């Protein structure tokens, strides 16, 4: 008989955040691989946000880190606080699932990874898209060669976010690239299957200095190029298209998929359209359960710190390139 695997005991810093309340807290609470034992907020009394009846609600982050029962901590704080509290979690001996984007820069992410490695704890960025069943199907489609040689790919993600939101504040790590860029660029890297060799970029900036729209081009050599656009302006839009010599794959709602998103559209040479049917699932639950499995040595991390650091190096290069060109009119 297989040994019983003890559920991972979780704590959540900044438990009042929208993504925590709407997605990750329910995923932890609903998983057999996890136990939700502690939550913390600095600004809101626990009675107002502890809707899951967590046994240890704390009014302050340090108190949660001092709780010996907590093994892993989810950090959904604003971008500018990721490094500080990930490093504090590591020093307290806690594994960390940190909300995307992992850090403000590659250098900051390297410091976070080093702190976790020194403490002997795991670190993973809470980038949820790869944990949807459709993302697995797209990976298999790319690996199978059915699309042929990949020639081009593009991704777009626009979300109308008003200036009062914290993502418009530069001191909090705001900006379209830091907020939405991982969704756009990560699938392009997967489609290419090799490192970026050159970049081009431009941006529209706000009066405060954050990029409210950012578009970029990534070259991979051998004629393979990709393009992306992310923005806080305009109507809500999500698109992902991968162009091969045999087939084109299009994915609708690629960056916030749910249980009902179950197909990949394929276009052939003759213009014929067909749907590749896949299963649907809750990617937040899958992400939490994957991290739990990694902590129990049942699986390697799908998205480790080195992946996040590589992406942030690209962000650094793209931002420098865009700044060198000047802002778009």
The CATH number corresponding to 8-127+286-303 among 3.40.50.720, 3.90.245.10, 3.40.50.2000, 3.20.20.140 equals 3.40.50.720
Q: What is the pLDDT of residue 1?
A: 44
pTM score: 0.95
Give the containing element (helix H, strand E) for 264.
strand 263-267
> Do residues 291 and 92 make contact, with C-beta atoms less than 8 angstroms apart?
no
Q: Is the pLDDT of residue 3 over 70?
A: no
pLDDT band at 4 (very low <50, low <70, confident <90, very high): low
Q: At what angle do helices 106-119 and 82-91 cross, to 10 degrees?
A: 10
Cβ-based neighbour number of residue 30 at 10 Å: 14
Q: Is the pLDDT of residue 287 over 70?
A: yes
Q: What is the pLDDT of residue 44?
A: 72
Per residue in 39-82, pLDDT (tens digit) is 999 877 666 667 788 999 998 999 999 999 999 999 999 999 99
Per residue in 93-141, pLDDT (tens digit) is 999 999 999 999 999 999 999 999 999 999 999 999 999 999 999 999 9
Please, what CATH class does the domain formed by 129-282+312-325 belong to? alpha beta
Q: Is the pLDDT of residue 329 over 50?
A: no
pLDDT band at 327 (very low <50, low <70, confident <90, very high): low
> Do residues 323 and 116 make contact, with C-beta atoms less than 8 angstroms apart?
no
Q: Where are the domains of the chain?
A: 8-127+286-303, 129-282+312-325
Q: Which residue from 108, 255, 109 is spatially nearest to 179, judged by alpha carbons?
A: 255
CA distance 83 to 88: 9
What average pLDDT does the chain have?
Answer: 94
């Amino acid at each position: 008989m297989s040994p019983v695997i003890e559920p991972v005991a979780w704590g959540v810093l900044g438990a009042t955040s929208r993504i925590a309340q709407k997605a990750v807290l329910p995923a932890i609470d609903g998983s057999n691989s996890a136990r939700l034992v502690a939550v913390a907020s600095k600004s809101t009394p626990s009675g107002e946000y502890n809707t899951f009846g967590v046994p240890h609600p704390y009014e302050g982050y340090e108190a949660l880190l001092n709780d010996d029962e907590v093994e892993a901590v989810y950090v959904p704080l604003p971008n500018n606080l990721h490094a500080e509290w990930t490093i504090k979690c590591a020093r307290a001996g806690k594994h960390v699932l940190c909300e995307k984007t992992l850090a403000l820069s590659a250098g900051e992410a390297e410091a976070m990874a080093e702190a976790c490695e020194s403490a002997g704890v795991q670190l993973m960025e809470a980038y949820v898209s790869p944990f949807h069943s459709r993302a697995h199907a797209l990976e298999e489609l790319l690996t199978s060669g059915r699309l042929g040689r990949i020639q081009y790919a593009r991704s777009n993600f626009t979300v109308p976010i008003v200036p009062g939101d914290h993502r418009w504040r530069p001191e909090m790590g705001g900006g379209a690239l830091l907020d939405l860029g991982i969704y756009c660029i990560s699938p392009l890297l997967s489609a290419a299957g090799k490192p970026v060799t050159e970049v081009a970029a431009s941006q529209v900036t706000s009066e405060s200095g954050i990029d409210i729209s950012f578009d970029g081009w990534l070259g991979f050599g051998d004629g393979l190029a990709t393009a992306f656009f992310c923005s806080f302006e305009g109507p809500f839009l999500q698109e992902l298209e991968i162009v091969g010599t045999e087939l084109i794959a299009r994915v609708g709602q690629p960056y916030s998929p749910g249980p009902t998103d179950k197909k990949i559209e394929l276009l052939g040479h003759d213009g014929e359209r067909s749907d590749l049917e896949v299963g649907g699932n809750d990617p937040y639950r899958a992400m939490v359960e994957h991290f739990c499995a990694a902590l129990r040595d049942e699986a390697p991390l799908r998205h480790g710190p080195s992946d996040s650091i590589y992406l942030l190096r690209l962000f650094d290069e793209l931002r420098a390139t865009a700044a060198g060109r000047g802002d778009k009119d």
